[in-house]
Amino acid sequence: MFVNVIQTISTYAIPVVILLIPLYAVFKKIKVYEVFCEGAVEGFHTAVKIIPYLLAMLVAIGIFRKSGAMDVLVSILSPVTNFIGLPGELVPLAVMKSLSGGGSNGLLTDILKTSGPDSLIGRIASTMTASSETTFYVIAIYFGAVGIRKTRHAVSAGLIADLAGVLAAIWICRLMFG
C-alpha cells in the first residue's frame, strides 16, 4: 500500500508542478514568455561568469581521483560506514557525491550495472544520489561566482545535510526494500 502511494505521488508530482507554475503566472497576469527570456539571458551571463570556477573544480576533482586520495579516504571511512550499514560498494559514491555530480553519476551507473537497479544496493545508491548535494561543487561555483569567500559554515552545513541524506537513504531503503 505504502509503495503504491509513493509510486502514485512520484508519477504525478512533476507534471502537476509543471502545470501549476504557468497557471499561477497567468492567474497573476505575469508575462510568462518575457520573464522566461529575461531569466535565460541572466542565466547565460551567470554561466559565463562561473566558467573559471567550474574549470578549477573539475581539475581539483580529477587530481583527487587520480592521486589515489579517494581510495585512502574510503579505507579510512570503512569502519564508520560498516557500522552505519553502508555497503562497501557505495562508499566511493557517498564520498564523490559531495564533490562532483558527473563523477557520482558515473559511479552510480557502474553500481547499477554491477548490482542491478532493483537490488538493495542499487536502490540505496539511487536514493543516496538523489538525497544529497554536490556541496563542494556548489560552494566553488556559485559562491565563487557571487564573490563569497568565507564558506566555513556553508561547508559544514552542506556536509551535514549530505550525511543526513546518506543516512536517510540507507534507513528508508532498508525499511522499504530490505
Burial class (CB in 10 A: 0-12, 13-18, 19+), 132: buried
Element (H, E) at 154: helix 152-177
State CA 143 to chain mean position distance: 17
Tens of pLDDT along the chain (178 residues) come to: 777 888 888 899 999 999 998 889 889 988 888 888 999 999 888 778 778 877 777 787 778 778 988 788 878 888 888 888 888 889 888 888 888 888 888 889 989 999 999 999 999 999 999 998 888 888 887 887 788 888 878 889 999 999 999 999 999 999 998 7
User: Grid coordinates 552505519 are at which residue?
Assistant: 84
Q: How far apart are CA 98 and CA 100, in angstroms?
A: 6
End-to-end CA distance of the chain: 16
Q: Which residue intervals of 28-130 are DSSP H helices? A: 32-66, 69-84, 91-97, 101-115, 120-130
Distance CA 3, CA 12 (A): 14
The domain limits of the chain are 50-177
DSSP-based three-state secondary structure for 147: coil
